[in-house]
Amino acid sequence: MSAAVPALRLEGISKRFGAVQAITDMTFEVRRHEVVGLLGENGAGKSTLLKILVGLVEPDTGTMYRDGQQVRFRTVTAAADAGIGMVYQEQSLVPSLTVAENILLGCEGHGVNAGVFRWRKLRELAQAQLDKIGSNIPVRAVTSQLTFPQRQMVEIAKVLSIEERTAFDPVVLLDEPTSVLDGPDVAVLFEQIERLRERASVVLVSHRIEEVMAVADRIYVLRNGVVAAERRPTETTTDELRHLMIGREDTGSHFHAERQADCADTPRLEIVGLSSAHFHDVNITLRKGEVVGLAGVQGSGREELCRAIFGALKVDAGEIILDGEKVKARSPRGAVQVGIGYLPAERRTEGMIGTMSVAENMSLATVGTVCRGPVLDREREKRVVDDWIERLRIRTPSGSVPMRQLSGGNQQKVVLARWLMSGDLKVLLLDHPTRGLDVGAKSEVYALVRDLAANGVSLLVLCDGLDETIALGHRVIVMRDGEVSAEFAAVRDAKPRPDKIMEHML
**Segments making up each domain of the chain, as ranges:** 8-246, 259-339+426-506, 352-424
pLDDT at 328 exceeding the cut of 80: yes
- Nearest to 45, CA basis, from 242, 245, 180, 215: 245
Q: Which tens digits make up the pLDDT trace of 108-128?
A: 777 777 777 788 888 999 999
Q: What angle do CA 193, 29, 65 make, to 5 degrees?
A: 110
Angle at 200 between CA 194 and CA 206, to 5 degrees: 60
Assign 59 a pLDDT band (cuts: 50, 70, 90). very high
Where is average pLDDT lowest: 179-193, 209-223, 259-273? 179-193
> What is the C-alpha separation between 471 and 370, in angstroms, rounded?
35
Calculate the average pLDDT of the chain: 84
Q: Would strands 325-326 and 375-376 be described as parallel, antiparallel, or unpaired?
A: unpaired
pLDDT exceeding 70 applies to what percent of the chain?
88
> How far is 198 from 254, CA to CA, in rounded Å?
37
Task: Tell me yes or no: is domain 259-339+426-506 CATH 3.40.50.12780.
Answer: no
Q: Which candidate, 192, 142, 183, places its Cα nearest to that of 298?
A: 183
pLDDT by residue (tens digit) across 449-474?
888 888 899 999 998 667 778 888 88
Q: Are 407 and 42 in contact (CB under 8 A)?
A: yes
Establish whether domains 8-246 and 259-339+426-506 are of one fold: yes
The answer on pLDDT for 492 being more than 90 is: no
| Fold (CATH) for 8-246 | Rossmann fold (3.40.50)
| Residues sharing a CB contact under 8 Å with residue 113, sequence separation 6 or more, in sequence order | none
What pLDDT, on the 0 to 100 scale, is given for residue 368? Answer: 63
Mean pLDDT of 337-362: 84
Amino acid present at 253: S
- Model confidence over 73-102: pLDDT tens digits? 999 889 988 989 888 766 678 889 999 999
